[in-house]
Structure 1
Amino acid sequence: MRRPITDDPIFEEQPPKQASRRRFSLSGWLLGWLRWLLLRALLVAFIAVLIFAIFNPPTTWTIVESARTYPIAERKWTTAEQIAPVMLRSVVAAEDANFCRHWGFDMNEIRRVVASGQRGGASTLTQQAVKNVYLWQGRSWTRKVIEAVMTPMVEAVWTKRRILEVYLNVAEFGPGIFGIHAAASHHFGTTPDRLTAVQAARLAAVLPAPKQRGTAAPSRRSRAIADGAATIAKDGRDRCFLY
């Protein structure tokens, strides 16, 4: 009698194979953790940009640091409507003539600076607003990377008019003189809405070196800024922030 086929050792039931364990990868774990951290950091940065699109920054790291060395003049938030249009044009002429034509980075200016071998000088008003409001002074790569990430966010969420308004309210116009209200009062005994073309040009001329430059007398830089502001008004490059 033939043996049952099931008795054949060939057909004997084999024990189930154990599921292979996934090998732990340190590099994979680190990449996953870094991805999680990066996404959260980007979310926090975007929320910070949204907040100051609506609410005014109460202070900045630069102001806090300066308070250790200089007494801080009284600050009063001044809306764009309360600032003389010539002051808005003057700061654009001084710091970022192509302000209405770029998305946060002036690529033409960056290429010009790289070709000439200069260090710095291509920073836009948007980049300066990001640095002054959210970050710290200095030339560290960490700050530059964060600034590069947040600048397009600010351009996407804030209007050009809001960028100028925030910048003029946190910029330093002298030791302990922060914001256009304090600057107009300290340097010329007036208010931002009453600044003349000459006064606006002199205030803009102290940027971005307010501790080394003054407003007491006209300078070649202030005269060039006044001419530039008039040109911006004439060719319509102020439409993105005046209306």
Structure 2
Amino acid sequence: MPERYQLVQTPARLELHDTHDPKVGAVYVDFVEGKAQHRRLFGGGKGQDIAKAIGLHKLKNPHVIDATAGLGRESFVLATLGCRVTLLERSPIVHALLADGLQRAQASDDEIVRTIAQRMALHHADAHTGLAHCCAREPADVIYLDPMFPERQKTALVQKEMRFFHEVVGDDHDDEDLLEIACQYAKHRVTVKRPRHAPTLGGGKPAFVISGKAVRYDIYLGKATAQ
């Protein structure tokens, strides 16, 4: 990790601080309040594009592997919608932030949040090898991929988090290989989140696409569905 960034355990939570620019604020994971709470209460439920992209109109409480967990926002949304979610994160720094956020959610005074968090299982693993181990324990109905890409939004929060990911975590140079691996293990589908106008991963053609205003979801059929 670059020297400018530092993990700090505050009385409230584990945070990542930018020592060169403290004004930008800390990066942390919070599944209890803030944006996670707002989306849980007002996000649109199973009418959201991500719910359609995962296939929740067909699959009941599926096992989803979020192979590029990041700060866990999509994983929490999926767990909120009833999915059992396995989160894979290879960065030890991001994994530490996720583990802290998940632990606080599991200890929350909010019973609903605790129930959602209990459907989430976090593993420190590179998905290129971790998918095989996870699927050996329990097959994945859906594998979700959200490879890193430059955000178009210019808010301070987005700039802060994207700078953190690019400088601390690094770019996803192997995401095309990961798509190929995911398609080997997903039972029903692989769902890939992309910027709306970005090229597909590896140039392959998805089975179908669900597109929103800023992002789209490319869906590739898994081995059970494709047969």
Q: Structures share a fold, TM > 0.5?
A: no
- Please report the TM-score for the alignment, with normalisation by the length of structure 1: 0.25
Higher share of residues assigned strand: 2
Higher share of residues assigned helix: 1
- Please report the TM-score for the alignment, with normalisation by the length of structure 2: 0.26
